[in-house]
Structure 1
């Protein structure tokens, strides 16, 4: 095991349970649930001995937090990724369509990250991890946390909806120039705003639209369900479609094109963008 952090306990007026005392003491694991897991995995030592959740702290103890040594023999998923931005806390990568972000499969973005990103030099460094998800058939920008503090802080930004996400899609059929869709998704309030940027006639579909999308909530498959609900499903969507108007050739035409947020460690407002995939530009030559 590798020593991460250590702490000398000052004198305590009354004994306190270890798992209560060290919440917030170690920057590597700031949460109570994380501390509990670390204790159960024998990663917390008190005075040189493995700690238990039943241990009480009286003062004067020396607490050490460890992390397991990396298993270099573990099979690695070699999959080159485009890294749009990287610093010691976070990264922005471009997820190709047709790959899972995470899960039980070996071929995931999560398993490919260690080969594509530099390890953070911060004390609370962790294996890089996606902070949010994109569907398997969706391409575009994915925000990655590289430290425990970054993962916690970025997750809170998503919860507070202060990270602005922009998507682009190709939709089927005639549409209003802009609109707000508020159909519930999974019985939960949901909102998506859209603007039609370009429309071309189509013999098969009647019309194809290049649409800019801004989801205000983050429900599963929200944009796909919302556009289907107003009668304008996304081209290539095999789950939410109009009978007889399914395209099987080039996958789903949905792309996460932009992320805007305040960098939680530099406090700088940043915007990252990724141009539309070639399959979009083949349909809309001006995009």
Structure 2
């Protein structure tokens, strides 16, 4: 016996298919979903490979199920978060900048998620790193940058490394520097290189220095560092003082940019918690030259 539920998530494309199985069910995961959703087995397999199928078993946390031949047990629930538009996306590819064994530093291009969603993880940095190392290293996210932004991200590969790097981040002992184009002539702002405005009821501090003003496009390049980790902190802070980040689709007006969000996490520096000395990674991107 099985109980099926289908819920529309987005009337345009997305659907949640959920099936709970009773005693005596001999189905493999792929066969079961194909029979109960009307989708082809090839579509189901692609959805599984791309991380859109979840297995809920007993008291365990839901986990992504990628193996099509998995035999189901009584009480198992399968969830398929099916969005053909998301599954059809070919994501940009990240680059490994430094490999320190316990952790790596990656360049995440704009348009790539740091972490997957219920609808899949093939468009995420975390999944690309797993595949880069052929599933021989675990991947622990210790910080993120926005999907629309590009730049350097540290990923840990074991729990001790994740704990050590997270501790450094909490103590502001990892330097993260961002290159940002903002609308307008920021050199005329009274902010004096410091934005100290609460966000979401919490203290938030952004420091920045002027690099150059482009009068032709009426925009200013700054290098910024955040001393707190609030949601979209840099983007919201510059928007609040009237100089929104160029290309930001959410914050500010008159800051459209055909090249997308002009925010790059271009530098990371830290004292390696595993005795490898001072580590610095830096990238230079066209259009953000000093």
TM-score tier (shorter): 0.5 to 0.7
Deviation of the 1:216 alpha carbon: 1.0
Aligned to 1:81: 94
Contact 2:181/2:245, CA 8 A, preserved across alignment: yes
Paired residue secondary structure (2:129): helix
Structure number, greater radius of gyration: 1
Aligned to 1:58: none
Cα-to-partner distance string for 1:205-262 (whole Å, 9 max, x where unaligned): xx211110011111110000111111111100111112xx131511100000111111
Aligned to 2:256: 247
The answer to whether 1:271 aligns with 2:280 is: yes
Q: Which runs of 4+ in 1 moved over 6 A?
A: none
Contact 2:151/2:264, CA 8 A, preserved across alignment: yes
Q: Structure 2: which 5+ runs fail to align?
A: 1-58, 69-89
Paired residue secondary structure (1:233): coil
State which of 168, 172, 175 in structure 2 corresponds to 1:164: 175
Q: Write the distance in 2 (CA, Å) between the matches of 1:91 and 1:239.
A: 31
Aligned to 1:54: none
Paired residue secondary structure (2:116): coil
With over 3 angstroms needed to count, the CA separation of the structure-2 counterparts of 1:172 and 1:80, relative to structure 1, is closer
Paired residue secondary structure (1:83): strand
CA RMSD of aligned residues (A): 2.6
Contact 2:268/2:280, CA 8 A, preserved across alignment: yes
Deviation larger for 131-140 or 194-203:
194-203
The answer to whether 1:258 aligns with 2:258 is: no
Deviation of the 1:171 alpha carbon: 0.7
Q: Structure 1: which 5+ runs fail to align?
A: 1-39, 42-70, 121-125
Asked which structure has the greater RCO (Cα within 8 Å, sep 6+), the reply is 1
With over 3 angstroms needed to count, the CA separation of the structure-2 counterparts of 1:72 and 1:260, relative to structure 1, is same
Contact 1:79/1:112, CA 8 A, preserved across alignment: no
Q: Write the distance in 2 (CA, Å) between the matches of 1:269 and 1:157.
A: 13
The answer to whether 1:234 aligns with 2:245 is: yes
State which of 183, 189, 200 in structure 1 corresponds to 2:214: 200
